[in-house]
Each structure stands twice: as structure tokens, then as C-alpha cells.
Chains A and B, each alone.
Chain A
Amino acid sequence: MKRFFRPFINGILRENPILVLMIGLCPALAVSSAAINGIYMGLAATFVLVGSNFIISIIRKFVPNQIRIPIFITIIATFVTIVDMVMHAYAPDMYNILGIFIPLIVVNCIILGRAEAFAYHNSVIDSIGDGIGMGLGFTLILVVLGGIRELLGNGTLFGFQVMPVSFKPVLLMILPPGAFLTIGFLQALQRYRGGKS
């Protein structure tokens, strides 16, 4: 059990892809104008991550070293196509909001990065744990980012009015500049805390 949980915790905290590793930024910034978008985007990426980690760790003994990257990309693209079609069929509104960022999961550095750095060298169980941990770390940061921007920019959280009526929303926060600003301050906060301990 411990073996399963270690990579899991690692993905959420110490090696959080967005804040620490600085990868997978595009969807994080683009879809985080509301907290609910973050959940959908994060779960879509988690599904692809777990699926591709699972398959790659199964076939890792048979994959020739020279052509591993094209093989990884094909596997990832298959899972992305599944997500794309399922969302198109069952969540068309969200599909329209996330738009091009669903197919772009295929070039998300987190997924290829984990395939190369983890799933290719580790057992099936460890790889699934790593996929879930990294995926949830990604989802968590998307929701936090989306929550902050939605709260300040619209006065709501998951669509519910949270701020008092007298609160004037800062429209800037849900526009593109707000995304850069929020992530910059979150990162500075994390460094500040890291520097103290």
C-alpha cells in the first residue's frame, strides 16, 4: 500500500507539475477562468495519464529503445481520442468551453514526461499510482487557480454567488492577464513558504 501511495503524494505536493516542474502550463492557464472547468480538464488529463502509464508499463519490456517516443505518442493519442469523443457526446457544453485544449492534451508535456520518466522504468502498480497522483496534482492546481480567478473576477465559486453583493468583481482576473498574475503570485507564495521552512 505504501508503495502505491508514495508516488501518489509525491505528485500532488513535492513534484506538483505546474508550480514546481513548470510543465503543462497551457491548459492550466487557458481553462482556469472558472473552477468547474478545472475539474473537467483535470479529470480528462488524469484519465489519459493513468491509461497511458498503465499501457506503457505493461509493454515496457517489448518496446525497442530507439522508437519508444513514437510508440508513446501513439498510445497517448489513442486515449486522447477516447476522451475527445466521450466528452463530445456526453458533455457537449464543457466540450465547447475547453475546445482545442482537449486534443492538445496529446502534446501536454506532463503526459509524455511521465511516460518517459516513470512508466517506462516502473511496475504497473507504481505507474498507476504515479498517474493518479500526477493527475490529481494537476487537477488540484487547476481548481485552485480557477477558484481564485472565479472568486475575484466574478464573485462566484462553482457558479454559486459567494461574495457579498457590494463586492465589485475584478473583471481582469477572468481575462487572460489574470491567469498569468494568479500563477505568478501562487508560485511566489510557494517559494516564500519553502524558503522559510
Chain B
Amino acid sequence: MMSHFLLLFIGALLVNNILLIRFIALCSFFGVSNSMSTSIGMGMAVTFVMVLASSVSWILWHFILVPLHLEFLQISAFILTIASLVQFVELFLKKNSPTLYRAMGIYLPLITTNCAILAVALLNVLNNFNFIDAIVYAIGVSGGYTLAIVMFAGIRERMSSAPIPKAFQGYPIAFITASLMSLAFLGFKGLFGL
């Protein structure tokens, strides 16, 4: 039982890393990875919202959409739930936990259109995960997101002082860096037979 969760977690964290292998949520990967501190804040916010959104969408799917035979509403229902959930979390944090709000508040609006959150909600349904599986999977995926974006921000900070050909400055070199990181993550393929 424990090894099942461990495999699910490692698989989501490293082997099928959401950013570098699956190519989901790349807009934020290139958009907010300019400095270490912003990428850590973004990683925290994504982790928090992803776990919350996975559990809420799992409940929505299994207790409302399936019993009422409304499966075709999946996309609309999930995206609206996630969007309103993010708004609610933002208001709640603003009122009750100013410290946490300062740490990740400004990243919350960005998360509504972060495809990773919707993708994990959809993948939970697609893979027929039970509730605990869904939570473990969401933690693994968001851990992988945080790991990749923080490493990438670290490299980009170093690169800002490196001599780079003019045409490659900025985004092009960032893409090539991401390519090399993706190559490294490809090396995890086959780990524990995943």
C-alpha cells in the first residue's frame, strides 16, 4: 500500500514531471521564473491550490456529475469551480492570514488560467483515482512543478550575467536551458519500472 503511494508520488514528481516532460503550465514556467523568490512563491501557491482543487473537483465529479449523468459538463464545471475556488481562497487569505497572503497572494489570480490545476483535475478522473490517490498525485505533481521552476529560476539568475549572443538573449536561451533540463529529467525514465 505504502509503495503504491510512493510510486504514484515519484512518478508525478520526477518521471512524468508536469513542466519538463508533459509540457503543461509552461506559460508560468517562462513567465515568473525571473528570480528565485517569485518562483518559490508561485510554487507554494500552486501546491496549495492544486491539492484543494483536486479534492473539490474529485468530490464534484463523483458525487454530483456522475450520479446526475452530467459527465459532458466536465470541462465547464471544473474550470468554473477552480476559478471561483481561487477567488475564495484569495479573499479568505486576505482576511484571515495576511502573512500567507503577502507570500503568495499576488500569484493567486495567475493560477486560474494555470493549466496544471485543470489538468490534474481531469487526469484524476481519467486515471480513475480514488480520493487518497488524487491527493497524493496532486502533491506529487505540484512538488514536481515547484522543483522544476525553482531550479530553472536559479539557472536563469546565473545566466543574466553570462555573455550570450544577442539573438539568443532572454527567451531563446531560456528555452535551450529548459531543453537541457528536460533531457536530464528524461533520465528518470524507467526509475522503479515507471
Enumerate chain A interface residues (CB-CB to B < 8 A): 22-26, 29-30, 69-70, 73-74, 77-78, 80-81, 84-85, 100, 103-104, 106-109, 112, 172, 175-181, 183-185, 187-189, 191-192, 195
Taking a contact as CB atoms under 8 Å apart, the answer to whether A26 and B167 are in contact is no
Given contacts A100-B119, A181-B179, contact A30 B75 (CB under 8 A): no
Taking a contact as CB atoms under 8 Å apart, the answer to whether A184 and B122 are in contact is no
The A/B interface has a contact count, at CB < 8 Å, of 118
* Interface-lining segment among B3-11, B23-31, B48-56: B23-31
A-B contacts, 15 of them at CB < 8 A, read: A25-B26, A73-B83, A81-B75, A100-B24, A100-B122, A104-B118, A104-B119, A106-B75, A107-B113, A109-B27, A177-B182, A184-B168, A184-B171, A188-B167, A195-B166
Given contacts A183-B175, A188-B172, A191-B172, contact A74 B182 (CB under 8 A): no
Sort A-B residue pairs by CB-CB distance and give the 5 closest, nearest first. A184-B175, A180-B179, A30-B23, A188-B172, A77-B76
A181 contacts which of B73, B114, B126, B176 (Cβ < 8 Å)?
A: B176
A78 contacts which of B22, B25, B76, B186 (Cβ < 8 Å)?
A: B76
Taking a contact as CB atoms under 8 Å apart, the answer to whether A81 and B172 are in contact is no
Secondary structure at the B interface, as helix, strand, loop or mixed, is: helix
In the docked arrangement, what's the CA distance between A117 and B24, Å? 24
In the docked arrangement, what's the CA distance between A30 and B73, Å? 25
User: Nearest CB to that of B184 among chain A residues?
Assistant: A177
CB contacts (< 8 Å) of B73 on chain A: these are: 81
In the docked arrangement, what's the CA distance between A195 and B23, Å? 30
Taking a contact as CB atoms under 8 Å apart, the answer to whether B72 and A73 are in contact is no
Given contacts A26-B27, A100-B123, contact A80 B75 (CB under 8 A): yes
Taking a contact as CB atoms under 8 Å apart, the answer to whether B21 and A23 are in contact is no
CB contacts (< 8 Å) of B31 on chain A: these are: 22
B178 interface residue (CB < 8 Å to A): yes
Taking a contact as CB atoms under 8 Å apart, the answer to whether B172 and A106 are in contact is no
Enumerate B97-135 residues with CB–CB distance to A below 8 Å: 113-115, 118-119, 122-123, 126
CB contacts (< 8 Å) of A74 on chain B: these are: 76, 80
B173 interface residue (CB < 8 Å to A): yes
Taking a contact as CB atoms under 8 Å apart, the answer to whether B75 and A23 are in contact is no
In the docked arrangement, what's the CA distance between A175 and B80, Å? 34
User: Nearest CB to that of A77 among chain B residues?
Assistant: B76
Q: Shortest beta-carbon distance, B78 to chain A, in Å? A: 8
B180 interface residue (CB < 8 Å to A): yes
Taking a contact as CB atoms under 8 Å apart, the answer to whether A176 and B186 are in contact is yes
In the docked arrangement, what's the CA distance between A103 and B149, Å? 24
User: Nearest CB to that of B175 among chain A residues?
Assistant: A184
B30 contacts which of A25, A78, A80, A179 (Cβ < 8 Å)?
A: A25
Taking a contact as CB atoms under 8 Å apart, the answer to whether B167 and A103 are in contact is no
Given contacts A177-B179, A180-B178, contact A29 B114 (CB under 8 A): no
Q: Shortest beta-carbon distance, A95 to chain B, in Å? A: 13
Taking a contact as CB atoms under 8 Å apart, the answer to whether A26 and B25 are in contact is yes
In the docked arrangement, what's the CA distance between A77 and B171, Å? 30
Residue of A84, A85, A188, A195 ringed by the most chain B CB atoms within 10 A: A188
Taking a contact as CB atoms under 8 Å apart, the answer to whether A104 and B180 are in contact is no
